[in-house]
Structure 1
Amino acid sequence: MLRTVGGGYLLSVTADQLDAQMFERRIRDARAELEADQPARASELIARTYYEWVDFERA
């Protein structure tokens, strides 16, 4: 939501709407999968995260 605040604007978003926070969360999830001895799942998470990060128009 975009609001007028004082002499400017404020964009209110949730943490899941910020790509950097989503990226960090997915990388943490991938690390957890590695620690749980699930390398295939970790690889899938990393690949999907990378794809969405570099090609955000398709995400």
Structure 2
Amino acid sequence: MHRGWSTEGVGKVDTIWALVWHFGADGKVDSVVNPSADQHQMDSFIWANFSLAALPDRLAP
């Protein structure tokens, strides 16, 4: 677990994160996720400070 915060840009964010590792049968890491304790706060901060590419561009390989 770790704390992440920012006061840069619009608004601020201060939340706890849990870094979750998953290991496959071979003992190697096959995925990692980093969920926030307050996803709504993170969503608001990200949407206020960053714009997404158009949908077709986000889906392109």
With structure 2 as the length reference, what TM-score do the two structures score?
0.21
More strand by share: 2
With structure 1 as the length reference, what TM-score do the two structures score?
0.22
